[in-house]
Amino acid sequence: MEEKERYDVIVVGAGMAGLSAALTLRLHNLKILWLGTPLLSEKIRKAEKIKNYPGISSVSGEDFGALLRVQAEEAGLSIVSETATGIYAMGGYFAVSTEKNTFESLSVILATGVESVKSVAGEEEFLGRGVSYCATCDGFLYKGKTIAVVCTSKEKEGEADYLASLAEKVYYIPLYKDPAFSAPNAEMVGGMPLKIEGKKRVEKLLFKDRELAVDGIFFLKSAAPPAVLVGGLKTEAEHVAVARDMSTNIKGLFAAGDCTGRPYQYAKAAGEGNVAAHSVVEYLRSLR
């Protein structure tokens, strides 16, 4: 068997916290894998004028994103455009699976941000029993079946296309503006899904005024909730519980940025990414 390349650190997420971590890790000449969407976070692009980020006087979100992309390139950093679907502590190292690959590393920085969209009641409970976050991983299980696809971002519409090519019937629930997805076997459903019900497995997705009978539900988000992504990770409400050095309850796994809690601010995310990177450097030193 071919031996797997092992990274020093995998940075999961390419928003402000991920960038800040990657820039600092880069200065330490570590072997880094940086996973995320190639646009350096949709959120940065969407942001209005930024007024309280030290060093940047009142810039638009779009210009700020461009600036950050240039900086990342100049630093020789490149983003691998895959979404982490699971992070596993293997004892001494981590395995990080995406929709296409499994990567290995000695440490991980989780910088996945927060979903602006709330979880649906039952989402965690039914994970692996009809709930999935990964079209590529689990889509084939629903060949010829009826599924709901809850999508929080236009950029995930391609994955919905893929699911529609497999399932017999798709209820498509877009939680963003101006959805452009369509398929002959898809029905668009408006409103917020409230609750998942079922005995052993998912059976229904409930809305305020209707319910859909389904075999499975795909949540197409930019990242799965931290507790789902990393089994055994300690969280407080929807946020990763971290110490001042950004360490989590899992040795070698650090977190930074919005996923660790409020305020959801660029400066905070940049600071935490920086601190997490320094903690990784110390952690790797402790392994030698």
Instruction: Select the span of 31-39, 105-113, 214-222, 264-272 touching its own copies (CB under 8 A).
Output: 264-272
Report 32-51 residues binding its own copies (CB under 8 A). 51
* Contact call for residue 75 and its own copies (CB under 8 A): yes
* Contact call for residue 107 and its own copies (CB under 8 A): no
Give the shortest CB-167-to-its own copies separation in angstroms: 41
* Contact call for residue 258 and its own copies (CB under 8 A): no
* Contact call for residue 268 and its own copies (CB under 8 A): yes
Q: Which residues pair with 253 in a beta bridge?
A: 108
Q: What is the largest CA-CA distance in the chain?
A: 59
* Contact call for residue 52 and its own copies (CB under 8 A): yes
Of 42, 272, 280, 283, which one interacts with its own copies (CB under 8 A)? 272
Question: Phi then psi for 144, rounded to 5 degrees?
Answer: 75, 10
Supply the DSSP string of the chain, one letter for each residue: -PPPPEEEEEEE--SHHHHHHHHHHHHTT--EEEES-TTS-HHHHH---B-SSTT--SB-HHHHHHHHHHHHHHTT---B---EEEEEE-SSSEEEEESS-EEEEEEEEE-----SSPPPBTTTTTBTTTEES-HHHHGGGGTTSEEEEEE--GGGHHHHHHHHHH-SEEEEEE-SSS-----TTEEE--S---EEEESSSEEEEE-SS-EEE-SEEEEE-SS--HHHHBTT--EETTEEP--TT-B-SSTTEEE-GGGG-S---HHHHHHHHHHHHHHHHHHHHHH-
Instruction: Select the span of 13-21, 135-143, 147-155, 211-219 touching its own copies (CB under 8 A).
Output: 13-21
Of 35, 68, 186, 223, which one interacts with its own copies (CB under 8 A)? 68
* Contact call for residue 283 and its own copies (CB under 8 A): no
* Contact call for residue 27 and its own copies (CB under 8 A): yes
Q: Which is nearer to its own copies, 57 or 190 (CB)?
A: 57
* Contact call for residue 242 and its own copies (CB under 8 A): yes
* Contact call for residue 56 and its own copies (CB under 8 A): yes
* Contact call for residue 208 and its own copies (CB under 8 A): no
Of 86, 227, 271, 284, which one interacts with its own copies (CB under 8 A)? 271
Instruction: Select the span of 24-32, 151-159, 163-171, 194-202 touching its own copies (CB under 8 A).
Output: 24-32
Which positions lie near its own copies, rule CB under 8 A?
A: 16, 19-20, 23-24, 26-27, 51-58, 64, 67-68, 70-71, 74-75, 242, 244, 261-263, 265-275, 278
